[in-house]
Structure 1
Amino acid sequence: MDVKTNIIVFTFKGQLDAFSEKQFKTFVTNNLKNELPFVIDLSKIDFLDSSGLGALVQTAKECKKLKLGFSVVGNSRVAQTIKLVRLGEFLNLKSSLEDAITYLKN
């Protein structure tokens, strides 16, 4: 976790799948209390499955309910998976951390 100009950046590594999605959701949900916009950086994620996508969707819904800004950054594999299920816009998918931070500042 890193805070850049009042924007929290959560960087995750490894896999976001059925085995790790509960841990992911707990971590992110606990940090929503900060009430700061945030970026979920998945650029170091090797694998994303439907459970991981579900966790991202739940996070997005929670953020919309709280009127909290967020964005997701992914490597090409993660971005392809997100776009394949047409969730790019819903998850505010950006191609780089810089793009995500710029998006949240505006």
Structure 2
Amino acid sequence: MTGAGAINDLQRLTVSLRGGCERRSDCLLFHFTGQLDAYSDKQFNEFVGAQRTGAALPVVIDLSRIDFIDSSGLGALVQLAKQCTTDGTGFVVVGNARVVQTVKLVRLEAFLHLQPDLPTALASLATA
């Protein structure tokens, strides 16, 4: 289910966060691993922003391999969701149990369009 430009190696964004982007015909698929927190939210925003430049495609943020997310990481996701809404592009977040628990704790699951896995997230974009 991978398209052209599949991610083999993730870029080191900070000591604790790695990320990659796959440009697909139907979306920009971002993969992250490590920690999305106060020490990495700026680099997360810069990386996603740079990849989105000139691409009016829906955004899928795959956080299924994230070990930890804090309020700064949630803030970065909210900011990105708002940008996508303003741009009129779709936005979906895939989370593991830790991410889901944190997002649900602050009741952002609907706003972030939280999905349990990547196939469900991609399917939700197709029906949006």
The interval holding the TM-score normalised by the smaller chain is over 0.9
Out of 81, 85, 94, which is 2:102 matched to? 81
Aligned amino acid, residue 92 of structure 2: S
Displacement of 1:5 after TM fit? 4.2
Residue 23 of structure 1 is matched in structure 2 by 43
Confirm whether residue 53 of structure 1 aligns to residue 74 of structure 2: yes
Distance 1:98 1:5, change over 3 A: farther
TM-align CA RMSD: 1.0
- TM-score for the superposition, normalised by structure 2: 0.79
Unaligned stretches of 5+ in structure 1? none
Q: After superposition, give the CA deviation of every residue in 1:11-43 in whole Å (9 maximum; x if it has no partner).
A: 001000001000001111222221111210000
Residue 125 of structure 2 is matched in structure 1 by 104
Displacement of 1:64 after TM fit? 0.5
Q: Percent identity?
A: 54
Which structure would you say has the larger RCO, counting Cα contacts within 8 Å and 6 or more residues apart? 1
Displacement of 1:3 after TM fit? 3.3
CA distance in 1, matches of 2:28, 2:84: 14
Moved over 2 A (4+): none
**Structure with the greater alpha carbon radius of gyration:** 2
Displacement of 1:70 after TM fit? 1.1
Displacement of 1:8 after TM fit? 1.7
Aligned amino acid, residue 79 of structure 1: V
Length, aligned pairs only: 106
Residue 18 of structure 2 is matched in structure 1 by none
Q: Give the stretch that moved more between structures: 54-63 or 3-12.
A: 3-12
Unaligned stretches of 5+ in structure 2? 1-20
Q: Normalized per residue, which structure has more helix?
A: 1
- TM-score for the superposition, normalised by structure 1: 0.95
Displacement of 1:10 after TM fit? 0.2
